[in-house]
């Protein structure tokens, strides 16, 4: 007689395996340990074979019967259910090995040493956040231009058009790597030229009027975050270096007695010298007892052997109520200094540009020299620090 759930559920184990048949070769085998295993007995090419269909009650009686019927349809067409299952598993393994995520991660790892660590992490984050959840599991040869466009439009719709174009470039590079390694036939990304409008050229948000700068500096004084982040906020307008250079600053590069900071500019691969006004030195001396035992002036909150997060300053600005897309960003302090130093304090542009570590050719075509205009730059940094103090006190 056909089995029932009650019969199977109440069946007790014995010293030997017990088989309870349902019909059509389907039975449940109860092991001495109490396990209840679905099996299908069938014959093909004159040989008797068994096919495992799962464990009861994870696979119900109804599901087991469905699996039996599917297997019998295969048999009716001359297909061995066991061999068919092996083929499906092999195909699944092959598809997972050729999945977009597997190949993309392989490509990112291969090229890890050719880019700066921050760029590698940023590219990986873009793929993990915006691409892998939708395309990662797909076999790379099955991904079409419309599939990629759907991903890019999702990014563009949230107002991140530049990121959408950058992501398209990353996807295309992953496809080219797959083509080179024999796992894809073509890159669908060239078919999408013009599908996402070009990103408008934009500058980092910056505050450039004395009144607004004064309000910003007073906001810094009232900041209630960590002392490390507050110190970074106070130094950012004083030094107006690139955000990555500030957050990765190492104590070994500072000479507080000489009031100098020397480091290699990652963007231009040039040595740079930042004269430190007494106001900057005072902030650093106050910070040193807290972080001076480690390599970084501004260590990470969780690991003192890593630099502060690249989002820390912008996050602090947002906590104080500033919009980092339209008002001020960590990079905006450079535009702030460049504008006010020239328009309000009448500093010569070439002195400002050298302090910004821009590659400014001289009259003879020479490249940037870290000691060029050093006397004028020291005077400028002191004038600038004094001017910021005056604004703060207004």
Q: Which residues are catalytic?
A: 242, 267, 331, 334, 358, 368
239 in Cβ contact with 384 (< 8 Å): no
d(CA 225, CA 52): 60
**CA–CA separation, 131 vs 155, rounded Å?**
10
Task: For residues 188 and 209, give the distance between their C-alpha atoms in angstroms, rounded to a whole number.
Answer: 47
* CA–CA distance, 309 with 206 (Å, rounded to integer): 21
Output Rg (C-alpha) for the chain, integer angstroms: 33
Structure tokens at 329: 């960003």
- Number of helices followed by number of strands (H, E) in the chain: 16, 7
Q: How many beta carbons lie within 10 A of that of residue 85, not counting itself?
A: 14
Q: Give the C-alpha separation, 182 to 164, whole Å.
A: 27
Helix (H, G, I), strand (E, B) or coil at 133: helix
Residue 318: strand, helix, or coil:
helix
| Angle subtended at Cα 220 by Cα 214 and Cα 225, rounded to the nearest 5 degrees | 165
Count of alpha carbons within 13 angstroms of residue 385, beta-carbon side: 20
User: Residues near 269 by Cβ (< 8 Å), separated by ≥ 6?
Assistant: none
Instruction: Dump strand ranges (E) for 144-302.
Output: 254-255, 260-265, 270-275
Please give the torsion angle defined by the CA atoms of residues 271, 277, 279 and 283, in that order, rounded to the nearest 10 degrees: 20
Question: Which sign, positive or negative, has the C-alpha torsion 132, 135, 138, 143?
Answer: negative
Neighbouring C-alpha atoms within 13 Å toward the C-beta of 43:
3
Tokens of 255: 């000479």
Report d(CA 234, CA 279) in Å as an integer.
10
């Amino acid at each position: 007689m056909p089995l029932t759930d009650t019969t199977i559920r109440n069946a007790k184990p014995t010293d030997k395996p017990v088989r309870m048949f349902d019909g059509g070769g389907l039975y449940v085998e109860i092991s001495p340990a109490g396990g209840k295993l679905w099996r299908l007995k069938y014959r093909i090419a004159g040989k008797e074979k068994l096919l495992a269909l799962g464990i009861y009650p994870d696979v119900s009686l109804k599901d087991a019967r469905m699996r039996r019927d599917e297997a019998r349809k295969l048999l009716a067409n001359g297909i061995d259910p066991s061999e068919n299952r092996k083929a499906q598993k092999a195909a699944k393994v092959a598809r997972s090995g050729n999945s977009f995520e597997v190949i993309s991660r392989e490509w990112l790892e291969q090229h890890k040493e050719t880019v700066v660590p921050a760029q590698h992490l940023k590219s990986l984050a873009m793929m993990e956040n915006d691409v892998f959840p939708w395309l990662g599991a797909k076999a790379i040869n099955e991904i079409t231009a419309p599939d990629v466009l759907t991903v890019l439009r999702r990014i563009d719709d949230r107002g991140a058009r530049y990121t959408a174009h950058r992501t398209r470039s990353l996807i295309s590079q992953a496809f080219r790597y797959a083509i080179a390694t024999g796992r894809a036939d073509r890159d669908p990304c060239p078919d999408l030229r013009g599908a996402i409008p070009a990103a408008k050229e934009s500058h980092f948000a910056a505050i450039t009027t004395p009144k607004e700068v004064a309000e910003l500096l007073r906001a810094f004084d009232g900041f209630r975050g960590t002392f490390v982040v507050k110190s970074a906020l106070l130094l950012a307008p004083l030094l107006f270096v690139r955000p990555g250079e500030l957050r990765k600053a190492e104590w070994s590069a500072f000479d507080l007695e000489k009031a100098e900071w020397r480091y290699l500019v990652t963007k231009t691969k040039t040595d740079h010298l930042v004269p430190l006004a007494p106001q900057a030195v005072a902030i650093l001396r106050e910070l040193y007892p807290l972080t001076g035992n480690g390599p970084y002036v501004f260590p990470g909150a969780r690991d003192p052997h890593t630099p502060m997060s690249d989002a820390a300053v912008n996050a602090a600005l947002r906590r104080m109520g500033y919009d980092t897309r339209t008002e001020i960003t960590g990079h905006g302090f450079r535009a702030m200094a460049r504008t006010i130093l020239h328009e309000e304090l009448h500093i010569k542009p070439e002195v400002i540009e050298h302090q910004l570590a821009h590659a400014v050719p001289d009259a003879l075509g020479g490249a940037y020299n870290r000691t060029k205009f050093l006397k004028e730059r020291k005077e400028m940094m002191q004038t600038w620090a004094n001017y910021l103090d005056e604004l703060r006190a207004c």
